[in-house]
């Protein structure tokens, strides 16, 4: 009898344990399902300040994240001013792949290809991205507020329902949105271990035709008229087994707005570089760019003559190339529960124009989609802080990577 009771007791205990385990599993599955539903349904209002190439791309990234309840794009400039911008941008293969995933159709955009780079005018690029966003209006609440400046008054006038949960600041190096939001203007400035100079040529008789860049390497200049014997030095440098000798030259931009960049590594401590770093004669660098343009220009464009040389402006001497990036490029406004990220030239800027500056801004946007997703689905403030921390870490990585190897891909290779 006792044996039978013991067997029944063990059977009941086993049934109770299985029921408890089943209840726990069902509860966990229900909780997991509800969490998945919550994350799937989570949406946040997003405000993008700035409609340059980086700001418009950021808007497309936000849309693609699938976590936008409402997207507002703000810029102090009107549409006509945006689309008239003549400067040429060069999108490298990595940026092209990134933009293709966002729905950018390069086949239907004015521009040209060369070595997997796409060259177009900023105005053309912005018009294409604006047209994509306008098409998205059919399925998403997108508001383009062009000709509207971001300010404290703008924020005050917003209703509580319209207040954004995420703000993307992409208003360029001269924008004041960060100061409006109370984000520190403290920058970290680091050397890129190179020296360079820039020149611009504007010729109104030429067309705004997108043009592939021209590169030249191991370039030397005859400065004997200034007492510098570069001929012997160039022979000595070309025979050395050290790194790339001489200067690296790039000519880029449209035929109407031509730009030139000249750069030399800081380890190439030659008499010529020393002289060009410290000379007080402003005409020397102008003559160097003059000779360089005529030597390496395309056959389709006219030479620069003494009469047309006044159309060129350039650096007075070689300067150290520096990268500046914000010490704080993401923040949380606690009272309004707004997560802010700073992108493009508002976050990091080079004092030297390589003709590929927009690509540095695109690198920062590669983590924006995940940042919006994590912010939208965050259970509490700690999870928002984790998203902000990851965004800041990625931004620092972008700056450090460019400082180490950015000029190599943009100029040296």
**Distances from the Cα of 367 to the Cαs of 65, 140, 326, 389, in angstroms?**
11, 22, 17, 12
C-alpha to C-alpha distances, 54 to 35, 162, 171, 235, 358, nearest whole angstrom: 33, 24, 9, 44, 7
What fold does the segment set 44-186+327-404 form as a domain?
FAD/NAD(P)-binding domain (3.50.50)
Helix, strand or coil for residue 67? coil
CA distance 119 to 252: 10
**CA dist list (Å): 307 to 311, 402, 408:** 9, 39, 35
What is the residue extent of each domain of the chain? 1-41, 44-186+327-404, 192-321
Task: Please count the CA atoms within 13 angstroms of the CA of 179 that sit on its side-chain side.
Answer: 7
Interatomic CA distance for residues 353 and 346, integer angstroms: 16
Which pTM value belongs to this model?
0.86
Distance (Å, whole) CA 17 – CA 313 = 84
Average pLDDT, consecutive stretches of 10 residues, N- to C-terminus, the chain (413 residues): 62 69 64 49 89 97 95 93 88 97 95 95 95 93 94 87 92 93 94 95 88 92 77 48 69 93 80 87 92 93 83 93 95 90 96 93 97 94 95 96 91 87
Residue pair 70/137 in contact (Cβ under 8 Å)? The answer is: no
Looking at residue 243, its pLDDT comes to 44
With contact defined as beta carbons under 8 Å apart, do 353 and 328 qualify? no
Two structure tokens written together for 196 = 């360079």
């Amino acid at each position: 009898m006792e044996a039978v009771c013991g067997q029944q007791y063990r059977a009941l205990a086993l049934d109770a344990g299985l029921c408890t385990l089943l209840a726990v599993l069902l509860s966990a599955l229900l909780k997991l399902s509800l969490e998945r539903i919550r994350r799937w349904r989570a949406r946040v209002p997003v405000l993008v300040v700035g409609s340059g190439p980086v700001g418009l791309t950021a808007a497309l990234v936000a849309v693609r994240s699938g976590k936008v309840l409402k997207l507002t794009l703000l810029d102090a400039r009107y549409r006509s001013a945006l689309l008239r911008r003549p400067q040429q941008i060069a999108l490298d293969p990595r940026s092209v792949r990134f933009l293709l995933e966002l729905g950018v159709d390069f086949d239907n955009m004015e521009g040209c290809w060369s070595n997997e780079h796409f060259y177009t005018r900023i105005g053309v690029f912005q018009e294409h991205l604006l047209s994509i966003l306008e098409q998205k209006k059919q399925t998403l609440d997108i508001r383009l507020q062009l000709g509207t400046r971001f300010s404290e008054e703008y924020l005050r006038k917003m209703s509580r329902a319209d207040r954004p949960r995420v703000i993307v600041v992409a208003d360029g190096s001269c924008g004041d949105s960060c100061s409006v939001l109370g984000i520190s203007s403290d920058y970290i400035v680091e050397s890129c271990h190179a020296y360079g100079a820039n020149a611009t040529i504007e010729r109104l008789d030429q067309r705004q035709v997108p043009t592939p860049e021209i590169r030249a390497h191991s370039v030397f200049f005859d400065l004997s008229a200034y007492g510098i014997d570069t001929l012997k030095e160039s022979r000595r440098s070309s025979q050395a087994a050290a790194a790339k000798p001489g200067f690296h030259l790039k000519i880029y931009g449209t035929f109407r707005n031509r730009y030139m960049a000249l750069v030399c590594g800081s380890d190439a401590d030659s008499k010529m570089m020393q002289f060009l770093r410290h000379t007080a004669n402003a005409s020397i660098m102008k003559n160097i760019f003059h000779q360089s343009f005529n030597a390496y220009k395309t056959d389709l464009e006219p030479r620069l003559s003494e009469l047309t040389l006044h159309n060129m402006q350039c650096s007075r001497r070689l300067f150290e190339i520096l990268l500046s990036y914000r010490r704080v490029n993401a923040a949380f406004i606690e009272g309004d529960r707004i997560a802010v990220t700073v992108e493009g030239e508002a976050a990091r800027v080079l004092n030297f124009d390589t003709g590929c500056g927009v690509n540095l801004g695109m690198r920062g946007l590669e983590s924006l989609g995940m940042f919006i997703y994590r912010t939208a689905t965050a259970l509490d403030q700690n999870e928002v802080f984790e998203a902000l921390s990851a965004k800041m870490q990625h931004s620092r990585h972008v700056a450090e990577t460019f400082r180490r190897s950015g000029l190599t891909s943009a100029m040296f290779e």
